[in-house]
Amino acid sequence: MTMKGLYVGIDLGGTKIAGALVDRDGSILRRIRLETRVEQGPQAVIDRLVESIDQLMDGVRSTVKGVGVASPGPLDSRSGVVFSPPNLPGWVNVPLRQALEDRLGIPVKLENDANAAAWGEYRFGAGQRKGTMIYLTVSTGVGSGLVLDGRLFRGENTFAGEIGHTIVDPEGPPCGCGRQGCLEALASGTAIAKLGQTADPSSSIHSLAAEDGGVVRAEHVFQAYRMGDAHAENIIRQTVRYLAIGLSNLIHIFNPGKIVVGGGVSRAGDVLFPLLQEQLDRYLMAPFRETCEVVPAALGEDAGVLGAAALWTDCGQQVVAGEPA
């Protein structure tokens, strides 16, 4: 194992805590994965984070230069405080960076999970060779990371990119953030599962779920779609339509060369991508249609950890508004 500087990347954005020990070229030397158990509250999650990071650093602690942590937002990456993420119930203004630094004695950087994954894909995955790229994650939540002209864009207070909480239907369902009609409330994995649960009893969504633990998940809706189930088709078409509305708004504003789509729902890419392309063709103005490619993420669940670790190695390339380049 190289004894040059090493970094730890952690991603709290998925259903599990994902962590990796990484070198400065983005090679993963060790991995760890464990249940997040968000329902136990922030302190228990912090304990598990410390435990994972300690395990990753075992025997090489003195060569670890820094830890990057990707967490669902909204959060302030400068102060290291996580506000009240819709998908981290019970978290209110948690000083995550400070808490980890105090326990680990190693410097920590905090980043929004979608931003970290965007940077991971931009540096090492599907977003390479494009100056302006948008990463979209569709999983429990919906989020995006904006790489604009080669720099991760965070905005004035580091909150930028919250596409999941842009309103795409003012009369839409309530969102975990407390408002209504957000893209996340209409098109996340959680939203697809909810629609599946209330689908007509004759839908094969229910029989698929019954054979697989009993609780309807987004993947059952996709499976039913593949079997030609009309109820599943309505749900998926409606979901993708909202995703295309959200994305087309970003595309018109930022003119990305690529949209990289990741997150759990993107695993149903065979269904998702053709429909998304069809809907984007409908919502985009001609020049944007021809200049923006929509591709699946290349790094899967590694995008977040690689991007979080690279926060340490890429500081020079990454300019935060308000900080010197």
For ligand BGC, the closer of residues 87 and 203 by Cβ is: 87
- Asked if residues 245 and 168 have their Cβ atoms less than 8 Å apart, the reply is yes
- Asked if residues 112 and 145 have their Cβ atoms less than 8 Å apart, the reply is yes
For ligand BGC, the closer of residues 72 and 232 by Cβ is: 72
Give residue for tokens 């506000």: 83
Listed ranges 26-34, 84-92, 249-257, 265-273: which one lies at the site for ligand BGC (CB under 6 A):
84-92
3-state SS assignment for residue 259: strand
Give residue for tokens 């935060």: 320
Build a one-symbol-per-residue string for 115-144: x at contacts with ligand BGC by CB under 6 A, - elsewhere.
----------------------x---xxx-
Of positions 9, 19, 68, 72, contacts ligand BGC by CB under 6 A: 72
Alpha carbons 223 and 311: distance in angstroms, whole number: 37
Listed ranges 2-10, 54-62, 70-78, 217-225: which one lies at the site for ligand BGC (CB under 6 A):
70-78
Of positions 86, 127, 304, 307, contacts ligand BGC by CB under 6 A: 86
Give exposure, 263-297, as e/b (b: 16+ Cβ within 10 Å).
bbbbbbeebbbebbeebbeebbeeeeeeebebbeb
Listed ranges 39-47, 107-115, 232-240, 283-291: which one lies at the site for ligand BGC (CB under 6 A):
107-115
Of positions 8, 82, 104, 114, contacts ligand BGC by CB under 6 A: 114
For ligand BGC, the closer of residues 141 and 196 by Cβ is: 141
For ligand BGC, the closer of residues 187 and 199 by Cβ is: 187
* Amino acid residing at 98: Q
Element (H, E) at 45: helix 42-57
- Asked if residues 121 and 303 have their Cβ atoms less than 8 Å apart, the reply is yes
For ligand BGC, the closer of residues 119 and 225 by Cβ is: 119
Listed ranges 108-116, 227-235, 252-260, 285-293: which one lies at the site for ligand BGC (CB under 6 A):
108-116
For ligand BGC, the closer of residues 137 and 204 by Cβ is: 137
- Is the bond into 74 cis (omega within 30 degrees of 0)? yes
- Asked if residues 134 and 140 have their Cβ atoms less than 8 Å apart, the reply is no
3-state SS assignment for residue 248: helix
Of 161-220, binders to ligand BGC (CB under 6 A) are: 162, 164-165, 184
Q: In angstroms, what is the minimal distance from the CB of 132 to ligand BGC?
A: 19
Of positions 19, 68, 73, 304, contacts ligand BGC by CB under 6 A: 73
Identify the CA nearest to 28 among candidates 267, 316, 300, 319. Answer: 300
- Asked if residues 275 and 313 have their Cβ atoms less than 8 Å apart, the reply is no
Q: In angstroms, what is the minimal distance from the CB of 286 to ligand BGC?
A: 31
Of 8-27, binders to ligand BGC (CB under 6 A) are: 13
For ligand BGC, the closer of residues 76 and 229 by Cβ is: 76
Of 223-262, binders to ligand BGC (CB under 6 A) are: none
| CB atoms closer than 10 angstroms to residue 129 | 9
Q: In angstroms, what is the minimal distance from the CB of 179 to ligand BGC?
A: 12
36 touches ligand BGC by CB under 6 A: no
Alpha carbons 124 and 128: distance in angstroms, whole number: 7
Alpha carbons 214 and 209: distance in angstroms, whole number: 5
Positions that interact with ligand BGC (CB under 6 A): 13, 72-74, 85-87, 112-114, 137, 141-143, 162, 164-165, 184
